[in-house]
C-alpha cells in the first residue's frame, strides 16, 4: 500500500534524507570555493595591487575575524530561525560579497569584502549540523557529516585547477565574478528544494520513524513567548570540560585546513617554484587525499557504532589518528623533491580529513536544545584558527623561509591529539539542564 507521503511503501523508509545531504554537500563546495578563491588569486592579485606577505596574511585572516566572532550569535540564530529561510539568505549574501571582490581595487576594499564573507558564512556550519541532526539518526550521523564535510575536500580538489584555469582566461577579477554568481544561483535552488522532515512530502512516515529512532533529534524551536536567548545557556556552553576538549581540538584541526585554504598555492608557486597552472593541479592531490580520509573516517566510524564498538573508539579513534598523521606535514621541510613534498602534504591532509568528523561530538555531547549554540561555540573556537594561522604564517615567512610555518602547523596537530586524549573524556551527553 502506498502512503500519502513520498513514494515508498508504508513499511519501507524512503531515502529523502540523502537528497537533503546532497544539498548540503553542494553548499559546502560553494562555501569553500568562496573561501579559497583568494588563495588562487593571491599571486596575481598581490602583484597588481602591490601587496606584501603581511598584507596578504591580513587578507587571508580577515574572513576568520568575523567568521569566528559571529559563530556564537550565528548558532543562536540557527536555533531560532527556520533553515529553509536562513540558508539561502546567507548563501546569497556571501556570494554577493564574493562578486564585489572582483570590483575592489585596493587593500581596504578587499579587506571589507573578506570581512563580509565571514559575516554571512558564520551560521553555515551550525546550520549544516542542525540539518543533519534533524534528518539522520545517530547511527548514520557520522557518515552524513563525513559526506558533507568531504565537499570541502573533493570540491576543492577539482576546483583548484578549474579556478586556476578561470583566472588564467579571465583574470583574478573574473574568478571572483564567476564563483560568486554560482552561489547566488544555488541560493535559489536551495529555497525551492529544502523542507524540514515533517514538511517534506518526499519523506514517508517510515522514514520519519527511522530518523527519530534515537534521542538526538534536532533542537526544538523556542515556544511562543519564550526568550530567544538566555545567558545561562552561553555560560553552560563555555564551562563544560568536555566541550572545551572538542573546542580546542577544532582549533587545532582548523590549523591544517586553513593553511591549505590560504597559503598553500603561494607556498607551491613562490617557495617551491612551481608554475601557476601546474601548481593548481598539484594542489588538487592533497584535497583528494583529504576527501578519501573524511569518507573513510565517517563510514568506518558509523560501522563500528553499528557493530557495538564503544563510542570512545568508534568516534574518537579516527580523530586522534588523523591529527597524528597531520603532524607529518613537517616532513616537507626535509626534501627538495616535488613528489615527496606533495606526498607529505597529502598525508597531512588525509589525516585532516580522517579527523574531520568532529561535528558529530556536538550532537553527542550537547543537550538537544543547545545544539545550535554549542555548535556556534565549537565553530567560534575553531574559527579562531582562520585568524591566527594565516597571520602567524605571514610573519613566520617574512624572511623567505617556509619551514617554521610547517613546523607550526605540525605543533597544532599535536596539541589537538592531546586535547582529545586528555580533555574530552568519555563520550556521553551532558545531562545538566542548560
**What mean pLDDT comes out for the span 77-84?**
84
CA-to-CA distance for 169 and 360, rounded, in angstroms?
A: 41
Percent over 90 (pLDDT), the chain: 27
Q: Give the range of the structural domain holding residue 102, as residue numbers without chain letter.
A: 16-213+231-422
7, part of any domain: no
CATH number at residue 162: 1.20.1250.20
By the 8 A CB rule, do 322 and 293 touch? yes
Dihedral (CA of 233, 235, 240, 245) sign: positive
Whether 430 is covered by a domain: the verdict is: no
248 falls within a domain: yes
pLDDT tens, position by position, 312-357: 788 888 999 999 999 999 999 999 898 899 999 999 999 998 998 8
Across 116-125, 233-242, 273-282, least confident range: 273-282
SS3 content of the chain, % helix, strand, coil (to 5): 75, 0, 25
Residue 189: all three cell numbers together: 535552488
Decide if 4 is inside a domain.
Answer: no
Whole-number pLDDT of residue 10 = 54
Pair 240, 430: CB distance under 8 Å: yes
Length of the chain measured in residues: 434
Note whether residue 11 is domain-resident: no
Decide if 37 is inside a domain. yes
Per the listing, cell 543533519 goes with: 132
Under 8 Å CB-to-CB from 372, ≥6 apart: which residues?
A: 75, 76, 77, 78, 79, 126, 130, 219
pLDDT score of 104 more than 50:
yes
**Across the chain, what does the average pLDDT equal?**
83
| In contact, 268 and 39? CB cutoff 8 Å | no
Please check the confidence at residue 278 and state whether its pLDDT lies above 70.
no
In a domain, 27, yes or no: yes
In a 3-state reduction of DSSP, which class is residue 152?
helix
- Is 427 domain-assigned? no
**How many angstroms separate the CA atoms of 22 and 333, rounded?**
38
Q: What is the pLDDT of residue 224?
A: 41
Specify the number of domains making up the chain.
1
Return d(Cα 42, Cα 172) in angstroms, integer.
9
DSSP class of residue 269 equals I
pLDDT score for 305: 80
* 324 CB burial (10 A radius; 0-12, 13-18, 19+): middle
Whether the per-residue pLDDT at 276 is higher than 60: the answer is no
pTM exceeds cut of 0.75 = no
Amino acid at each position: 500500500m502506498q502512503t500519502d507521503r513520498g513514494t515508498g511503501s508504508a513499511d519501507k523508509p524512503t531515502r529523502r534524507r540523502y537528497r537533503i545531504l546532497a544539498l548540503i554537500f553542494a553548499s559546502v563546495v560553494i562555501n569553500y570555493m568562496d573561501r579559497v578563491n583568494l588563495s588562487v588569486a593571491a599571486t596575481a592579485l598581490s602583484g597588481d595591487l602591490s601587496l606584501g606577505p603581511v598584507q596578504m596574511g591580513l587578507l587571508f585572516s580577515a574572513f576568520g575575524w568575523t567568521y569566528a566572532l559571529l559563530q556564537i550569535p550565528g548558532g543562536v540564530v540557527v536555533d531560532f530561525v527556520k533553515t529553509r529561510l536562513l540558508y539561502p539568505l546567507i548563501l546569497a549574501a556571501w556570494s554577493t560579497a564574493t562578486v564585489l571582490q572582483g570590483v575592489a581595487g585596493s587593500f581596504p576594499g578587499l579587506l571589507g569584502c573578506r570581512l563580509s564573507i565571514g559575516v554571512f558564512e558564520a551560521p553555515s556550519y551550525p546550520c549544516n549540523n542542525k540539518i543533519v541532526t534533524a534528518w539522520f539518526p545517530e547511527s548514520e550521523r557520522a557518515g552524513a557529516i563525513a559526506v558533507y564535510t568531504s565537499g570541502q575536500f573533493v570540491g576543492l580538489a577539482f576546483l583548484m585547477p578549474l579556478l586556476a584555469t578561470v583566472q588564467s582566461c579571465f583574470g583574478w577579477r573574473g574568478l571572483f565574478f564567476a564563483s560568486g554568481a554560482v552561489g547566488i544561483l544555488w541560493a535559489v535552488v536551495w529555497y525551492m528544494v529544502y523542507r524540514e522532515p515533517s514538511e517534506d512530502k518526499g519523506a514517508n512516515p517510515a522514514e520519519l520513524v527511522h530518523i527519530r529512532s534515537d534521542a538526538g533529534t534536532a533542537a526544538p524551536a523556542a515556544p511562543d513567548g519564550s526568550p530567544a536567548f538566555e545567558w545561562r545557556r552561553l555560560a553552560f556552553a563555555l564551562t563544560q570540560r568536555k566541550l572545551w576538549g572538542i573546542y580546542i581540538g577544532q582549533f587545532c584541526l582548523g590549523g591544517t585546513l586553513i593553511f591549505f585554504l590560504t597559503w598553500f598555492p603561494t607556498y607551491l608557486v613562490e617557495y617551491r617554484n612551481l608554475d601557476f597552472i601546474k601548481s593548481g593541479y598539484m594542489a588538487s592531490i592533497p584535497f583528494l587525499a583529504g576527501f578519501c580520509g573524511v569518507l573513510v573516517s565517517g563510514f568506518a566510524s558509523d560501522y563500528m557504532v553499528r557493530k557495538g564498538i564503544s563510542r570512545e573508539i568508534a568516534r574518537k579513534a579516527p580523530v586522534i589518528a588523523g591529527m597524528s598523521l597531520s603532524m607529518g606535514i613537517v616532513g616537507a621541510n626535509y626534501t627538495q623533491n616535488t613528489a615527496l613534498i606533495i606526498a607529505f602534504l597529502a598525508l597531512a591532509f588525509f589525516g585532516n580529513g580522517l579527523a574531520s568528523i568532529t561535528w558529530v561530538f556536538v550532537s553527542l555531547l550537547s543537550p538537544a536544545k543547545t545544539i545550535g549554540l554549542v555548535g556556534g561555540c565549537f565553530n567560534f573556537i575553531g574559527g579562531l584558527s582562520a585568524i591566527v594561522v594565516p597571520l602567524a604564517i605571514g610573519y613566520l615567512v617574512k624572511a623567505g623561509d617556509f619551514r617554521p610555518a610547517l613546523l607550526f602547523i605540525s605543533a597544532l596537530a599535536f596539541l589537538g591529539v592531546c586535547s582529545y586524549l586528555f580533555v574530552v573524556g568519555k563520550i556521553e551527553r551532558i545531562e545538566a539542564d542548560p
